[in-house]
């Protein structure tokens, strides 16, 4: 008998890291676990067994895989198809999603499907009530978003303790990401800091426009625009500063991942960032474009300041442990 942890999400909000962390934790507790994921979405599953399925696999096909692998419990992370497969195979299931999560293609049957879940776990940041329209009538429970960091370099030391020069920003390539504002700041700073490099990680409709902006501002030598399709972990593992220029559309899991990875973090001041960042203690908040540019300039020149922020930011890993999420999932099943 085994537990299926089914990976879902979207390009902009994948569930790969959380799924793998949950699967590893359950297996370490002595459970037999199988990760089910879209082909190619997981580069390394570690000690957990991995079963891949194609993009066109139906719920019926997945149900057959569950039966073949003797699955008796299903945990679906933002994967509605896995929930439908669990129902078809008459297997109890738990569903989890980040608060505000939206599928690439909205499902008209989502709510009807989730009403049959043992539990719907909503990963929230802050104490705001669950959205009534979304979760009314569902067996929903809220859990604080866990802080999942990554190790830096091969020996696991924080990037802030290395005098490398890598800045990353992660987000959807849309107006909401603030990347245009970020490039305006970088146009001023790049000539002053020739040893530093900026990497924008994401996918979206503004890729071509942002590429043109980089060329127009003559930032090709100091700036790179890369897809997030392979996950953000490699970029977090090699970064020295994490920045977020999004205004009001910040994903808390992204900020938490950077801070838990012991990265000094700079973000625009808004409701979400203010809940996670104590300005000047575990990160830096900027009110506008000029303040953002000045703060980034200060971070690049002050190595000791970066180290202090990184050390304090890393404590979020203890304040927001994965254990609470794992416990809720397991007690439900």
- Could you tell me the pLDDT band of residue 168, with boundaries at 50, 70 and 90? very high
Give the pairing type, strands 49-53 and 284-286. unpaired
- Name which of 238, 221, 246 is nearest 170 in CA terms: 246
Reported as a single tens digit per residue, the pLDDT across 40-73 is 888 777 789 999 999 899 999 999 999 999 999 9
Q: Which residues pair with 98 in a beta bridge?
A: 123
- State mean pLDDT over 286-309: 95
Domain count, the chain: 2
d(CA 2, CA 69): 7
- Name which of 212, 126, 213, 210 is nearest 172 in CA terms: 210
d(CA 162, CA 305): 13
d(CA 3, CA 156): 31
Give CA 3 to chain center in angstroms. 23
Claim to verify: residue 69 and residue 179 sit in the same structural domain = no
Task: Using the predicted structure, report yes or no on whether residue 249 has a pLDDT greater than 80.
Answer: no
- State mean pLDDT over 152-169: 63
Claim to verify: residue 163 and residue 140 sit in the same structural domain = no
**CB of 25 closer than 8 Å to CB of 326:** yes
Q: What is the SS3 assignment for 76? A: strand
| Residue 152 is assigned to a structural domain of this protein | no
Claim to verify: residue 134 and residue 201 sit in the same structural domain = no
Claim to verify: residue 95 and residue 41 sit in the same structural domain = yes
Claim to verify: residue 192 and residue 230 sit in the same structural domain = yes
d(CA 210, CA 245): 14
According to the model, what pLDDT value does residue 259 have?
A: 93
- State mean pLDDT over 89-118: 92
Report CA-CA distances (Å) from 60 to 80, 89, 112, 234. Answer: 13, 8, 18, 35
Claim to verify: residue 129 and residue 226 sit in the same structural domain = no
Report CA-CA distances (Å) from 216 to 210, 211, 261. Answer: 10, 9, 33
Claim to verify: residue 311 and residue 183 sit in the same structural domain = yes
Query: Which structural domain, as residue segments, surrounds residue 36?
Result: 2-144
Q: What is the SS3 assignment for 119? A: strand
| Residue 226 is assigned to a structural domain of this protein | yes
**Residue 303's domain is classified under what CATH number?**
3.40.50.2000
């Amino acid at each position: 008998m085994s537990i299926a942890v089914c990976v879902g999400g979207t390009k902009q909000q994948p569930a790969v890291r959380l799924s793998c962390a949950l699967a590893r934790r359950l297996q370490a507790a002595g459970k037999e676990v199988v990760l089910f994921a879209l082909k190619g979405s997981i580069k390394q599953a570690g000690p957990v067994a991995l079963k891949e399925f194609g993009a066109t696999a139906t719920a019926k096909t997945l149900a057959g895989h569950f039966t073949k692998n003797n699955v008796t419990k299903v945990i679906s992370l933002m994967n509605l198809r896995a929930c439908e497969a669990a129902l078809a195979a008459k297997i109890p299931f738990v569903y989890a999603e980040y608060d505000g999560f939206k599928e690439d293609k909205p499902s008209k049957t989502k709510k009807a499907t989730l009403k049959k879940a043992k539990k719907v776990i909503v990963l929230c940041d802050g104490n705001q009530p669950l959205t009534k329209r979304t979760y009314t009538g569902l067996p929903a429970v809220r859990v604080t978003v866990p802080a999942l960091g990554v190790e830096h370099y091969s020996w696991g030391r924080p990037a802030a303790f290395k005098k490398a020069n890598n800045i990353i920003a992660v987000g959807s390539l849309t107006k909401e990401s603030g990347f245009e504002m970020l490039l305006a700041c970088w146009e001023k700073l790049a000539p002053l800091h020739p040893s530093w490099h900026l990497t924008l990680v994401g996918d979206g409709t503004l890729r071509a426009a942002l590429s043109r902006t980089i060329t127009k501002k003559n930032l090709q030598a100091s700036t790179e625009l890369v897809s997030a399709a392979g996950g953000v972990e490699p970029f977090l593992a090699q970064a020295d500063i994490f920045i977020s220029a999004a205004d009001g559309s910040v994903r808390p899991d992204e900020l938490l991942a950077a801070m838990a990875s012991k990265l000094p973090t700079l973000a625009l001041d808004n409701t979400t960032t203010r809940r996670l960042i104590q300005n000047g203690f575990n990160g830096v908040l900027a009110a506008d474009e000029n303040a953002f540019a000045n703060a980034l300039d200060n971070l690049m020149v002050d190595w000791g300041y970066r180290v202090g922020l990184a050390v304090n930011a890393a404590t979020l890993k203890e304040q927001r442990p994965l254990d609470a999420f794992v416990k809720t999932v397991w007690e439900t099943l």
